[in-house]
């Protein structure tokens, strides 16, 4: 919508992780160095944690986009809310092996034979587990056991674990001692600082052909950082809305006041509608088993309704803006003909 208005080749602030937009902040460069170091070792576990939206998935996709395919066979798993056996099936499937109807013993045998075949070809196998904070202790132990596939002199499988900060609690629990002994490097990816957030915004814009239109003054960048706290995903969410507002209001320069206006709009949109607040203690006691489910369903419905209203509103605004532009461009003598249309 706003891309053509500002002369951009694509949306610069999409939420989908895209290694094409990878920005090497100090933290991201260090995390990448840990991943590359682990890759060079060819064994054990590498653990990367970070806040929601910190850029962990973009980080690993950037890595996977640069690994030599003639040397490394990689599998990437993002669905981790599974029990141990289903996780094993996901691992087998991610490496392109059949898994339906197989017992656990058959799955392990297929995986081991595959890993040994990869090794005979002079390659290595890499397993990347995203959203590792969803793994329970039994599933983590199942993954650790996979590292027991070895030849006489090397491991047949290396694993990268990426997750939110709570995964660190799992990792340091008393039952995880054997896994910790196999972690060769661990790094926590923190948020960007203010100068890096500014550079991040400008980097993503420049990636799609930005030539300085629109412009952002110092107060705008300060407001962007104040809202996002240096978290890439929050920055993307905000900036996408900022550029949409700029298109609708025909802005070519943004100040802190413009950014704060969008922040207020976002905050208002995500306030719970009346009647959807937290229930009182009496209602929770009356239906303890139903409360979380019903409350979650109501929240889901309200978010869907909000999305629909926002889409309709945006379409209406664009339609009105198009009509106004048409009226402004119509010569005075042609106004009657326009009215008849």
Query: Are residues 143 and 159 part of one domain?
Result: yes
Structural domain boundaries enclosing 227: 192-268
Number of domains in the chain: 2
pLDDT tens per residue, range 217-258? 999 999 999 999 999 999 999 999 999 999 999 999 999 999
- Same domain? For 135 and 170 the reply is yes
Of 128, 162, 189, the domain-final residue: 189
- 321-329 contacts, C-beta under 8 A, 24 or more apart: 321/248
The token pair that represents 67 in the structure block:
């690994």
Task: Give the pair of three-digit tokens for residue 309.
Answer: 């209203």
Q: What percent of the chain has pLDDT over 90?
A: 54
Q: What is the pLDDT of residues 78-109, one digit of tens each?
A: 877 888 889 999 999 999 999 988 899 999 99
CA dist 152 to 41, 116, 148, 155, Å? 16, 12, 11, 8
Task: Please identify, among 165, 189, 213, the residue that sits at the C-terminal boundary of a domain.
Answer: 189
Confidence tier at 276 by pLDDT (50, 70, 90): low
* Cβ atoms within 10 Å of 238's Cβ, excluding its own: 20
Q: Does 101 fall in a domain?
A: yes
Residue 237 lies in a domain: yes
CATH number of the domain that residue 71 is part of:
3.40.50.300
Q: Which residue, among 66, 97, 70, 84, has the nearest Cα to 129 in the 3D structure? A: 84
Note whether 112 and 260 are same-domain residues: no
Q: Which two tokens stand for residue 66?
A: 């640069």
């Amino acid at each position: 919508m706003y891309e053509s208005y500002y002369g951009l080749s694509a949306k610069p602030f999409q939420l989908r992780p895209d290694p094409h937009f990878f920005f090497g902040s100090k933290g991201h460069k260090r995390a990448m160095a840990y991943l590359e170091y682990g890759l060079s070792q060819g064994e054990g576990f590498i653990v990367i944690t970070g806040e929601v939206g910190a850029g962990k998935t973009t980080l690993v996709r950037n890595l996977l986009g640069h690994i030599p395919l003639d040397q490394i066979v990689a599998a990437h798993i993002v669905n981790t809310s599974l029990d141990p056996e289903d996780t094993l099936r996901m691992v087998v499937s991610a490496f392109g092996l059949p898994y339906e109807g197989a017992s656990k013993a058959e799955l392990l045998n297929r995986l081991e034979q595959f890993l040994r075949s990869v090794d005979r070809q002079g390659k290595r196998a890499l397993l990347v587990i995203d959203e590792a904070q969803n793994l329970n202790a039994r599933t983590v132990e199942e993954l650790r056991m996979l590292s027991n596939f070895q030849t006489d002199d090397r491991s047949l499988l290396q694993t990268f674990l990426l997750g939110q900060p709570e995964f660190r609690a799992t990792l340091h629990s008393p039952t995880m001692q054997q896994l910790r002994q196999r972690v060769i490097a661990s790094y926590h990816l923190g948020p960007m600082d203010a100068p890096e957030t500014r550079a991040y915004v400008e980097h993503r814009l420049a990636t799609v052909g930005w030539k300085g239109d629109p412009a952002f003054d110092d107060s705008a960048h300060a407001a962007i950082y104040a809202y996002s706290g240096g978290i890439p995903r929050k920055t993307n969410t905000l900036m996408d809305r900022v550029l949409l507002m700029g298109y609708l209001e025909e802005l070519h320069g943004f100040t802190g006041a413009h950014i704060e206006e969008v922040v207020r709009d976002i905050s208002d949109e995500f306030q719970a509608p009346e009647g959807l607040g937290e229930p009182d203690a009496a209602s929770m006691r009356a239906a303890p088993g139903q409360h979380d489910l019903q409350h979650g369903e109501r929240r889901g419905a309200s978010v869907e309704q909000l999305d629909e209203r926002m889409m309709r509103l945006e379409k209406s605004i664009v339609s009105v803006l198009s009509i106004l532009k048409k009226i402004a461009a119509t010569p005075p003598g042609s106004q009657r003909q326009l009215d008849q249309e």
